[in-house]
Copies of this chain bind each other. A is one copy, B any other.
Amino acid sequence: MAEFTSFTDLRAACLDLPAGDTSAADAVARREAELTKPPRSLGRLEDSVAWLARWQGRTPPRLARVEILVFAGNHGVTAQGVSAFPAEVTAQMVANFAAGGAAINQLARIAGASLRVIPILLEQPTADFTAAPAMDEAAFVAAVAAGYDAVAPDADLVCLGEMGIGNTTAAAAVAAALFGGGGARWAGRGTGVDDAGLARKQAVIDTALARHAALLADPLSLAAALGGRELAAILGATLAARRRGIPVLLDGFVSTAAAAPLKKVRADALDHALAGHVSAEAGHRMLLDELGLAPLLDLDMRLGEASGAAIAVLVLRAALACHTGMATFAEAKVAGKSR
């Protein structure tokens, strides 16, 4: 269970992180070099298995229990007309997840992953952050704890996604606060706003950055002021996974922005996280670059719901199957390199 009830506690937890198991990763690399293929010819598949081993602390790594967590939240800033869809769609989509009708339901099944959808106080949207901090300290820390506690200690991998009408605006505000550049750099079309909606998003972000300028030096304070409950939960889940030896697949722009403050608290805090994909949302590629994350997939998706991360699970399963199932040169009596 989460052991923090304030920014101070949470910051201490964010600084207290285990290192990865480099010997497990090295053992993976040694085996990869013996398998019947030219050295390094499986590229990112090989890297992915080593990364899983490093952060699970186990060789070979395991993907028996893959969990997809989708956090949902509502956003007061939707009053500013920043989304193409009405705010009630958040709850309607949560019902759609429960009924099995959303994209992530299909993708979780294909990926062999369990799906858990965790709505966080949908009936209490965050404050409109152009007028007040989205969340106060207590509300933020509680949402972080909800995410933290959602991570099963025995999971082998967690995929972190979200649903929340208005949350690309929150994510863009967080990214702008962390990395500079304002609304013009970070606002994108989200679920599909028109040009006027995009201009409103940019203005809303710039207004919020100005209003909360005094808070922006602290990554956790800015996440509370500009983020959302589902973003806070993703931050908490990312932190919990690291502390429990579980690798994380991040999803799109919102998921990545949600976890990003951790890296400002401690530079290696996202080393156990892989970007499942780069989305078509405008700021995502820039944000990944700022974080030094190289996405596994680039499929022009922009849905959220952990959909990109779920597809990345398939790549990891392929990678692990090669690692564990292939014969070595010696076993197969295949000759090695001659020059």
Contacts and interface: CB of A to CB of B under 8 A. Distances in A.
Contacts of A307: 42
Interface in A309-339: 310-311, 314-315, 317-318, 321-322, 325-327, 331-339
B99 A332 contact: yes
A219 interface: no
Interface in A245-299: 280, 296-299
Contacts of A35: 103
A303 interface: yes
A85 B338 contact: yes
Interface centre among A39, A106, A193, A296 (most CB of B within 10 A): A106
A222 interface: no
A109 B41 contact: no
Interface in A159-192: 190-192
A75 interface: no
Nearest to A311: B318
A43 B325 contact: no
A38 B299 contact: no
Given A317-B110, A321-B107, A326-B106, A296 B296 contact: no
B318 A315 contact: no
A301 B41 contact: yes
Interface in A73-92: 81, 83-86, 88-89, 92
Most chain B CB within a 10 A radius of its CB, from A38, A86, A88 = A38
B334 A43 contact: no
Contact of A45 (B105, B299, B331): B299
A16 interface: no
Given A280-B43, A301-B45, A327 B296 contact: no
Interface residues of A, number: 68
Interface in A15-30: none
A312 to B, nearest CB: 10
A192 to B, nearest CB: 5
Nearest to A91: B334
A223 to B, nearest CB: 25
A102 to B, nearest CB: 6
Given A36-B101, A36-B102, A315 B332 contact: no
Contact of A81 (B107, B301, B314, B339): B339
Given A101-B331, A301-B44, A325 B106 contact: yes
Interface of A: 35-39, 41-45, 81, 83-86, 88-89, 92-93, 95-96, 99-103, 105-107, 109-111, 190-194, 197, 280, 296-303, 307, 310-311, 314-315, 317-318, 321-322, 325-327, 331-339
Given A84-B337, A102-B326, 13 more contacts: A35-B103, A38-B190, A38-B192, A42-B301, A43-B299, A86-B335, A86-B338, A101-B325, A102-B332, A106-B322, A193-B339, A197-B339, A311-B315
12 contacts: A35-B103, A41-B280, A42-B103, A84-B338, A89-B335, A95-B333, A103-B322, A106-B322, A107-B321, A110-B314, A110-B318, A311-B314
